[in-house]
Each structure stands twice: as structure tokens, then as C-alpha cells.
Amino acid sequence: MRARAVLYGLLLVVATAAAVLSFAALRDLALLCGFSPELAWLLPVVVDAGAAAGSLVWLGGAVPMGARRFARSLALALLGLSVAANALGHGLAAFGQGPAWWVVVIVSAVAPAVLGAVVHLAVHVGRPVPDAAPAEPDVDDDRAPPT
């Protein structure tokens, strides 16, 4: 049991450090792409919260299989986006360059795209979990089948 507590403590340390570093990098990329300083912090919130929502559904409790598959895709896509955006932001800063126009367009599209994906995920999760075996239709033995 002690090893598990140490593992969770280390997970908390890694998660906190990674979140802070990634947050700063995504915020800086948002600033490079023209977001105002008052709003730039929302880009990492959208990406990280979307990835967390996908991860919770993917790895969580009983949900329809379609929701779990979509959640896995969403979580992995947003984690990949976070890694790529962090690298892009640092690369642009290292070489003192501004982003190309198409980078600004893509970064600006992240928030509404993630919103749509999380709403889609919520609709999937809200659907009932199908039974393991389909129910037998009610059959009245006294009636003859229609001809």
C-alpha cells in the first residue's frame, strides 16, 4: 500500500509540473497568435479540460461503447495537439519568428472545435447503455402471424 501512495504522490508532482509548463507554453502561443493577454490563458484551459473530459470518459465507468471510442479519440487528439502546440510555440520563440497566417487560423479554431467535440461527447455519454443481450419481443401465442 505504501508503494501505491508514493506512486500517486509522484503522479501528482508530475501532473502539476506538466500542467504548469504546458499551460505557459500554450498561453504564450496564444499571445503569439494575437490573443489578448486577458484571454490567452483560456487556450490551455480549453485544450487541457477537453483532454481531461475525454480521458475521464475513456477510462471511467460504464458508458456506451461509442462514447468510449469517441472519448479516446478526443483525449489522444487533444494530448497530441498540446504536444505539437508546445513544440511549435517554443520553436517560434527560439528562432524569434512569428506564426504563419495558417497557424493563427488553426490556433483560433481550437476553442470552438473543442467545444463542439465536448458537446458531442456529452450527448454520447447521455445515451443509455445498451443491455448485454437484446430483449425478446413480446409474442402473443394466440395470434397467428400476419399473412
Three-state secondary structure string covering the chain: CHHHHHHHHHHHHHHHHHHHHHHHHHHHHHHHCCCCCCCCCHHHHHHHHHHHHHHHHHHCCCCCHHHHHHHHHHHHHHHHHHHHHHHHHHHHHHCCCCCCHHHHHHHHHHHHHHHHHHHHHHHHHHCCCCCCCCCCCCCCCCCCCCC
Is the model's pLDDT at 136 over the cut of 80? no
Is the model's pLDDT at 104 over the cut of 60? yes
Band of the pLDDT at 127, cuts 50, 70, 90?
confident
Mean pLDDT of 110-130: 92
What domain range includes position 90? 2-126
**Does the residue 39 lie in any domain?**
yes
- pLDDT in the model for residue 31: 97
- pLDDT in the model for residue 140: 54
**Does the residue 136 lie in any domain?**
no
- pLDDT in the model for residue 134: 53
Q: 23, 48 in Cβ contact below 8 A?
A: yes
Q: 82, 24 in Cβ contact below 8 A?
A: no
When divided into structural domains, the chain yields a total of 1
**Does the residue 143 lie in any domain?**
no
Distance of CA 7 to the CA centre of its chain: 24
Average pLDDT, the chain: 90
Is the model's pLDDT at 76 over the cut of 70? yes
**Does the residue 139 lie in any domain?**
no
In angstroms, the CA 126 to CA 81 distance is: 26
**Does the residue 68 lie in any domain?**
yes
- pLDDT in the model for residue 133: 52
Is the model's pLDDT at 135 over the cut of 60? no
- pLDDT in the model for residue 142: 58
10-69 pLDDT per residue, tens: 999 999 999 999 999 999 999 999 999 999 999 999 999 999 999 999 999 789 999 999
**Does the residue 84 lie in any domain?**
yes
**Could you give the C-alpha distances from 33 to 7, 55, 107, 114, in angstroms and in order?**
38, 28, 7, 18
**Does the residue 134 lie in any domain?**
no
